[in-house]
Structure formats: structure tokens, C-alpha cells
């Protein structure tokens, strides 16, 4: 099976994807490394521009793929991690993100951008709220959803009440 772990930057993808892979005895791969390997990544200043169309045909068996573009790959299941946008803001602030990048990502989490993209790309989408949970808790929740054969589980978060807490991060 191929599992994609996606979500807004800072949500916990890398932490959860590595732990999930080790629990399942699967390989771990990042979209970044996969894209570089297949020649679907181009340096654009400090950033890497990834050709998402080239990702659409890359199948990797028994692999957990980590990245905010992983839902563009033909995974059997797409796990969309969510976190309170305030938590995202704090994590990205700590990572030294520019205020523009920070605002962009807080807004993306607030309005479900990655979830919507995942639903456009995949039949089997499982959303998991990480807020207030440990990575171990989150991985257990994912494993349980996989075990039970859950085809789709979305709509587990609603950040509308959080808006006032994060409005100061948003782009003017
Ligand atoms: N429930 C959780 N799931 C995932 N990460 C968590 C969780 N709680 C706290 N964290 C912490 O949040 C950070 C997430 O960073 P990372 O996994 O690199 O996110 P991403 O890959 O989505 O940018 C890590 O420092 C991790 O230890
Ligand atoms: Mg990461």
C-alpha cells in the first residue's frame, strides 16, 4: 500500500509519516527527495519548484510519502493532518518563516486548502486532527482508521472559532 501524508507546513507531516512508516514496516519518502530523484524539481532561488504533474504517475509500494504535495501522487490513501492554525503559526514562527509565508500558511490551514485539494485528487481521504495530541496518538488513530477500512473521514475540524486568535498573522 502507498500512503500519502499531507497537510499545511508545520502540521506534523514529517514526524507522523516517519513514525507511521516505522510502525507499518514501510519505507519513508519525502516528496522533495522523490521529485529530485525523478527530475521533477527545479531550484527557484532558495526554494524548490516541484512539477506536480510529474508526481501523478509515481507509484511507490509499501511507502509512506511525506509532503504538502503528496496528495498529488497516486496513493491508496491520503492522510490529511490538521492542527489549530495558532499552533501552525507558532511552529512556523519558530522556524523563522517570513511574515508573508506565515500568513499564507495560517490562512491555508484556516480555510482547508490542502483538504480540498486532497479531495479533488483522491477517493480515499482520511483527515486527522493533531491538536493537543502526541505524534504517537495521531499514528495510532491513523492505524485504527486503516485497520477498520475507513474509506473517507473528513470534516473533523472547524477553525471558524479560532479566526480571532490568528487574524494578526493573516496577510493584510
Ligand atoms: N501530534 C503531533 N503530530 C505531529 N507533530 C507534532 C505533534 N505534536 C507536536 N508535534 C511537533 O510539531 C512539529 C511538527 O513538525 P514537522 O513534523 O516537521 O511538520 P511538517 O513536516 O508538517 O512541516 C515537530 O516538532 C513535532 O514534534
Ligand atoms: Mg516536513
| Atom 18 in ligand 1: residue holding the nearest Cα | 14
1 neighbors 38 (Cβ within 8 angstroms): no
Show the domain range for 68. Answer: 2-169
| Atom 6 in ligand 1: residue holding the nearest Cα | 12
- Cα–ligand 2 centroid distance for 41 (angstroms): 17
CATH code, domain carrying 102? 3.40.50.300
What number does the ligand 1 atom closest to the CA of 10 have?
A: 23
Ligand nearest to the CA of 11: 1
What confidence tens digit (pLDDT) does each residue in 65-76 have?
Answer: 999 999 999 999
How many domains does the structure of the chain reveal? 1
For residues 140-154, average pLDDT: 98
- Cα–ligand 2 centroid distance for 14 (angstroms): 4
46 — pLDDT class (breaks 50, 70, 90)? confident
14 C-beta closer than 6 A to ligand 1: yes
Query: 123-144 as b/e, with b when 16 or more CB fall inside 10 Å?
Result: ebbbbbbbbeeebeebbebbee
What confidence tens digit (pLDDT) does each residue in 99-124 have?
Answer: 999 999 999 999 999 999 999 999 99
Amino acid at each position: 500500500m502507498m500512503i500519502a501524508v499531507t497537510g499545511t507546513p508545520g502540521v506534523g507531516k514529517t514526524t507522523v509519516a516517519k513514525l507511521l512508516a516505522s510502525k507499518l514496516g514501510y519505507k519513508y519518502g519525502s516528496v522533495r527527495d522523490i521529485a529530485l530523484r525523478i527530475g521533477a524539481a527545479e531550484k527557484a532561488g532558495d526554494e524548490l519548484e516541484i512539477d506536480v504533474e510529474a508526481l501523478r504517475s509515481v507509484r511507490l509500494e509499501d511507502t509512506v510519502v511525506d509532503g504538502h504535495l503528496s496528495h498529488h501522487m497516486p496513493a491508496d490513501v491520503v492522510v490529511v493532518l490538521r492542527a489549530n492554525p495558532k499552533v501552525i503559526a507558532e511552529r512556523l514562527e519558530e522556524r523563522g518563516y517570513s511574515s508573508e509565508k506565515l500568513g499564507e500558511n495560517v490562512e491555508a490551514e484556516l480555510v482547508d486548502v490542502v483538504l480540498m485539494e486532497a479531495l479533488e485528487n483522491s477517493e480515499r481521504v482520511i483527515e486527522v486532527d493533531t491538536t493537543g495530541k502526541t505524534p504517537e496518538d495521531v499514528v495510532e488513530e491513523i492505524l485504527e482508521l486503516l485497520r477498520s477500512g475507513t474509506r473517507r473521514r473528513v470534516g473533523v475540524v472547524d477553525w471558524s472559532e479560532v479566526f480571532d486568535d490568528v487574524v494578526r498573522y493573516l496577510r493584510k
